[in-house]
Amino acid sequence: MVYVRQDKLPGLKQYKYSGVDHSLLSRYVLKPFYTNFVIKCFPMWMAPNLITLTGFSFVIVNVLTLLWYTPTLDQDCPTWVYYSWAAGLFLYQTFDAVDGSQARRTHQSGPLGELFDHGVDALNTSLEVLVFAASQNLGMGWKTVMTLFGSLLTFYVQTWDEYHTKTLTLGIVSGPVEGIVILTLVYAFTGVMGGGSFWQQSMFHTIGIPQFSFIPSYIYNLPFNEWYMIQGGTVLVLNTVQSSLNVIKARRARGDKSRGALLGLVPFFVTWTLIPAYLYLNPEILHNHLVPFVFFGGLVNAYSVGQMITAHLVVLDFPYYNVLVLPLAYGVFDSLGPLLQDKFGVGWPSALGSGGYQVAYMFCMLGIAIGVYGSFVVDVIVTICDYLDIWCLTIKHPWNEEEEAKKVQ
């Protein structure tokens, strides 16, 4: 399947990275650390994309330890596992941050780097939801689904914002900076406290706040993990509103209508109408097979995000269509029939049922997602590499200052 037509490739020549980072933590702590120390640890022959991929490998290791020690996301792990999750996420953030610096100092900056970097970040978003859920002992249920929704919406909106404004904007508080630092500290603290069960306790009671008469019991008894979700939801709403304002302002400055841009949020919410519907209709998937379903949901979002980034790089129309929604829509349709038949007497029999066939279908959806997203990634990377005469994970044309000086003369 061809994802980028040859006649659209000249749009790559117009690419120019633009980013704004308002984070004080990034400006005064992290960037000096990356610039003055970390970047010097990487040799000049190492390609920026290889640094990105190496950083992602630490996340893969975290997920593998999760699958070994707490595949149900609700068991306490050995203390060292939480420390390894903290170290792995910190290394991922560090490698992900310095790949741009490596690209600039080796003179390898280009559109492929942005595509590769954002693609890896998109995959990490869903995987990190599983690690976080395991660190909080959230288990397989709606809390983990809500966490997945918030994380994927944040990344989708950020990419949608960049497509329309042509600038990657990180606010004073953002997921790639403060969000990852907070998660790293949470994982480490979970290890100190002996496991994820610590976060199941009432926050007010644990930190010594008395139950005053004006505090309702249900609020007083809220555990740490639910307070964290409330905080995350608040930040999510603020970031979504801010990104929407950024897009509206940029579109109006160019003389374009903002309504068309806001329609770009519709594909995400269509998907996230189907996902909770499918899980509600299939509690077996929700409570016993949520981990592979999270992989599927993450790939659906990564494909949408990848299409947006590609469209941004080669100057294409906004991609509203995601073929991976179709098998999910069929799953909802198939499971809805028996429910309507039971409630209203009008419906249709399920072809898959509610047992093993439904689980098998869910794994088929995951396989389809891996195939579609994998073919998309390979095709786009190979197409861009061929057009720009570069390699993806190695440096094909090392920078030679003397030769470049001769070309200028």
Dihedral (CA of 23, 26, 28, 31) sign:
negative
Point out the catalytic residue in the list 118, 289, 312, 397. 118
287 is catalytic: no
Active-site residue list:
118
